[in-house]
Each structure stands twice: as structure tokens, then as C-alpha cells.
A and B are shown apart, each in its own frame.
Chain A
Amino acid sequence: MSREEIFERLNLVFRDVFDDDSLTVGESTTAEDIDDWDSLHHISLLAAIEDEFDIEFSMGQTVKMKNVGEMVDYIAGEL
């Protein structure tokens, strides 16, 4: 799977979790850029991403990832 494809599918997940169809994420998007992306939503977001890609983030990754770009790196690594 290419990075673009991952980003496409990620966008759908984000829009679903944050209930916002206009949302688009990029390499450097962080929690500060999206309203409601706080600790509570972070976990549900990650759970939704895990379901979408059928992967599992380790705890280390969960606390470490700083932006969507890193998230994509992890996803790509797991696939």
C-alpha cells in the first residue's frame, strides 16, 4: 500500500471519528490542528485506525506519535 492510499483511508477514519466531512489530514497535522482531538478521542481514533488497517499499535507507539506523518510511518511499518 502506498502512502497516498494510507492517507486516503486515514482521512475517512478521521472524518468518521470527528464527525466532520471536510477534514483532511496531512504529514504534519497534529492534535492541536483538530478540535476535539484530545486524550479521549486519541484512543478512539487509534482504535478506529487499528480496526481499519487490521494492525495493532504498541503502547510505546501510542504515546510517542507526534503527528499524522509519524502515524502513517507506523502503519506502513506494520503492513
Chain B
Amino acid sequence: MSITSFQFILFVIVSVTIYRIIPAKLQWVVLLIASVIFYISFSVVGIFVLIATALITYYFAIQIQNQKDMLSSWMTAHKALATKEERKEKKEYYGKKQRFYLILAIVINVFILFLCKYYGKLSINLNHTFHVNIWTAENIILPLGISYYSLQLIGYITDVQRDVIQAERNPLKVILYGVFFLSIMQGPFNRYETLMPQICRDKKSKLDFVTAKKAILRILWGYVKKKCIADQVGILVNEVFSNYRNYSGSAIILATFCFAIQLYADFAGYMDIMAGIGQLFGIEIPENFHQPFFSRKISEFWQKWHISLGAWLKGYVFYPVLKSHVFKDFGKWLTQTVSKEAGRNIPTYVGMLILWTLIGTWHGAGITYVFSVGLLQFFYIFMGKITAPVSAKVKAALKINEDSLGWHVFQSCRVTVLMMFAWIFFNSPSMKDAFGFIGRIFCGGINVSQVTQIFTEGSALAGISGAIFMFYILLCAVILVCVDLIHEKGVSIRDSAISRGYIAECVLFFTLIFALIVFGAYGSQYNPSNFIYFEF
């Protein structure tokens, strides 16, 4: 059930209605059933894998909790009598058992994820390189959302082990946590402690008319971003990326720019739709974007883009790795043998390298992913830090005011260009294709007059498709930037429209609805081949 289909909209309306009628204590059941139905509409086999994984995690979490309960009951019983050593010993004993279950659960989750997502490609590559013939797991299909729910479940059991939450006694609720339909496809990553209390409540939350309007406006805006912006520029992107050998440098640059628009509009649009639906259920899901393109540095960009992924990795991978004894000892050894700075910085950078490799790998099985949103990002951040003292001197020499708007704009543009470059690799089927794509900029020729010609000769009244489409792309970029600017100032367009009265509300609703009707990428009249003629 695609989220842009009528069935999905009907599904949401029905689910929300039932959810709002049912008594509070059973609302989570409605969400569970709805989520399972949503999942099954994509894959029947996958749901069994998900349920199995969730149940295994549930079981081990219970075991961990049991160990904790045994420890605390021992502590209470022997509080007065036991010595410090005895207490420490008992802590370690139960701690070891907890860690055992935790590691086992993590290993199982990661193994299933690895088997479904990475093993196939890896085995094919091994076969190719070493001329062997190991099983390539051809029959295994990638269960929907496994990259999300596996990590969410790992987060859950880790939080149990860290005493952040108590283990859930009801296995169905753990399954719900895994299969929750608002997060299963593209995230965001939830934390058990923030999500589940919103779903499993004792008292009903009321849905007032104003909240409903805001939610629907958010959903509409999400659909506009997806259907009117992402899917439209996606046509140009797909065409140029697939046939880059036929296009000149200017087309390549345009397509790269458009891919950034497409990726942002699609991903953020999806988030808006899910967040809006969440609001209708009275559930707040984590934000994933905070105007990322206004970041001054790449490291800042990744704190504002796909925020929940960064937060998950930071809490469950980065910190544990850096806090581990291995790393601490490594740091101490460096401090002694090299310098205090080395002792502090090098383990951090090694940790970062591991982190980014994982981020890249998480995005997909393939060197293009590991490179584009992994190693290359590490390189960007690393170079940024290494050259910091030099660039500080340069900035001082040029008397650049770092707080000025101009400098901020420059930095944002720089970040955007760096990300656009990285995303070329992200969107190419192979590294070779990516280099070929980039190469076209130099051999394809940048025909500036051709580009300006499109803008001057074409106009709405002459009816030249290419020119209007170019204007449209520009308009989309401008709209995205403007909306982000408004959000950066802390203003919510939805809220201000509603507060300004009925007519303002209607204007906003009508604008979004008609934008969807007219500019949405749908319908039989919609012929992607119209754009193959691009004469860049």
C-alpha cells in the first residue's frame, strides 16, 4: 500500500476513527492491528521475520530484567550484612548475565539484518573476486523496514539493560514497537521510553478540531513535497543519471542540484505525512529535519539531517565504543607514547571513522553507500577539523566576520555543494557510473549560453515545456528555502494561518490542495518520456 494511494488514505481515516472511538486501554491494539495490516500489504513473509525478531528480543529483555530483579532483591535482602566486595561481586555476576543476553539479542538482530540485507551482495562479490561458489542467498528478500526495526529493537533491549526502562511484559507491545507503521518504512527511529507511553495510555487524549486541522495541513504539505516537488524533479534526475553519457556538463550539474531537492523533498515530505498522521493519533514522533541546508559545517548538517539516525548511532554505537575499555586504554597508551592531544583526538577520530563506516553501510549494501554517506563524510569532517587552525588564520587575514549573514550564506552553500557531490555517488548504481557522471562535467562541456537560452527563449506563453520545467524546479527550490527560512525563525506557517482566521486557513488549504491537483506527478497524461528530448 503506497502512501500516495487512495487505499492508504482510506486506511488512515478508518484507523484514526476506530482509534478515537475505542477506549484508551485498547488503543494500542488498534495501532498494532493497523500496523500489521499495513506491513502485510507489502510482504506477508516479512511480517513473520519481524514478529520472530521482536519476540526473541522481547524474551531476552525479560531475561535481563529478571537478572536485574534478582540482583535488587538480593541487595535488599543482604543490604546490611554484605561487604562492599560481596556487593561488587554480585553486581558483576548479574551484570555479566545481563550483558550475555544483551549481546545475544544484538547478535541475532544484526545477523538477521546482515543475512537479509548484506549477505547477498557480499557473497556475489566474493564469488566474483575469488572465483568460488558460495551460496548467495538469492531467495531471501529484504523484509520491509528491517534496517529500522532491527535497530529500534536493539535500542529497546539496550535501554532495558541500561536501566532506562523496564522490560515490557506484554510481547504484543514489543511487536507493536517494531512494526509501528508510522516508522517502519523510513523511520524516524523512536525510543521505547518516548514512544510507548504515548501509545499505551490510561486516559484518552482528545483530538480537538484545531489540532486535526494542523495535522491535516502538515500531511498535505508532506504530499505536496513528495508529489509536486520530489516526484517532478525526480523525472529529470532519473533521466540524466541513467543516461549521463548523452548529457552535457550543465545538465549534469542541474541533475545533481535536482537530486538534492528530490532527496530532501521526498524524505522530509514523508516525515511530514507521518508526523501529521501521528498527530491525528495523538502521538508525537521525533523530528528528522531541522533546516539542514542552513548548516555551517558538515558535522552540523548531520545533526539536522536524519536526526533520529544520528541520535540512535550516537547513543547506541558511538558512545559505547568510545567509552569502552579498548578505546580508553588506546587513548591512554597514545597519551603516554605520543602526546596528550593525540591521546584525546586519535581515539575520537578512529571512533568517528567506525561510526561513519557504519552509517554508510546502514544506508545500503554497496560501496557507493559506504563511500558517499560514510567515508566521504568522515573525510569532510576530518579535513574540517584538521584545517581549522589554518582556516582561522586565513579568515583573520581576510578580516572575515564569521557572524555575518554573508559568511553564513557562504558556509551553507559550501555544505550544500559538498553534500550534492556526495549524493552523486549515493544515486549512482556503481562507483564507475558515479565517476563517469562527474566526468561529463569536464568532457561534456559546460555550455553556458545553452543554459541561459533555455531561460530566455522559453516562457509560459510560448509553451516550451523545457523552459517552464526549469522555472518550476527553481520555484521548488525557492519554496523549500523560504519555508525552511520561516521555520528557522521559529514560525510555523500552519499555526499562523490558523490563528489569522478562517480565510487564511482556507487560503492555505486551497493552495496545498490545488498544488497537489495541478502539479502532482500522477495520472495517465503524465508521460516521463516528455523529458527525454532535453537538449542540453
Contact = CB atoms under 8 A, between A and B. Distances in A.
Nearest to B314: A39
Interface in B124-172: 158-159, 162-164
Contacts of B211: none
B406 interface: no
Interface stretch (A1-9, A21-29, A54-62, A69-77): A54-62
B162 A60 contact: yes
Contacts of B276: none
B481 to A, nearest CB: 24
A69 B344 CA distance: 24
Contacts of A59: 158, 162, 315, 319-320, 323
A59 B323 CA distance: 9
Contact of B352 (A17, A40, A60, A63): A40
Nearest to A46: B323
Contacts of A17: 344
Contact of A38 (B299, B320, B322, B331): B299
Nearest to B320: A59
A46 to B, nearest CB: 8
Nearest to A61: B162
A60 B163 contact: yes
Interface in B148-206: 158-159, 162-164
Contacts of B318: 39, 43
Interface string A27-64: 00000000000111001101110000000011110110
Interface string B302-322: 010000000000110011101
Contacts of A63: 314-315, 319
Judged by DSSP, the binding face of B is helix
Contacts of B159: 60
Given A43-B348, A44-B348, A58 B331 contact: no
Interface string B271-299: 00000000000000000000000000001
Contacts of A39: 303, 314, 318
Contacts of B164: 60
On chain A, which size bracket covers the interface?
Answer: 10 to 19
Nearest to B163: A60
Contacts of A40: 299, 348, 352
Judged by DSSP, the binding face of A is helix
A36 B159 CA distance: 28
Q: From A39, A57, A58, A59, name the one whose CB has the most chain B CB atoms within 10 angstroms.
A: A39
B351 to A, nearest CB: 8
Contacts of B158: 59
B328 interface: yes
Given A38-B299, A39-B314, A47-B331, A62 B319 contact: yes
Contacts of B319: 43, 59, 62-63
A29 to B, nearest CB: 19
A20 to B, nearest CB: 14
Contacts of A38: 299, 303
Contacts of B344: 17, 44, 47-48
Contacts of B328: 47
Interface in B327-363: 328, 331, 344-345, 348, 351-352
Nearest to B344: A44
A58 to B, nearest CB: 7
A48 B323 CA distance: 11
Nearest to B322: A43
B115 to A, nearest CB: 28
Contacts of B303: 38-39
A4 B162 CA distance: 30
Contacts of B352: 40
Nearest to B299: A38
B162 A58 contact: yes
Contacts of A48: 344
A48 B343 CA distance: 11
A35 B211 CA distance: 38
Which 7 pairs from chain A and chain B are nearest by CB? A60-B162, A43-B322, A63-B315, A44-B344, A59-B162, A60-B164, A40-B348
Interface of A: 17, 38-40, 43-44, 46-48, 57-60, 62-63
Given A47-B322, A63-B315, 13 more contacts: A38-B303, A39-B303, A39-B314, A40-B348, A43-B318, A43-B319, A46-B323, A47-B323, A47-B328, A59-B323, A60-B159, A60-B163, A62-B323
18 contacts: A17-B344, A38-B303, A39-B303, A39-B314, A43-B319, A43-B348, A44-B344, A46-B323, A47-B322, A47-B328, A48-B344, A58-B163, A59-B320, A60-B164, A62-B319, A62-B323, A63-B314, A63-B315
Interface of B: 158-159, 162-164, 299, 303, 314-315, 318-320, 322-323, 328, 331, 344-345, 348, 351-352
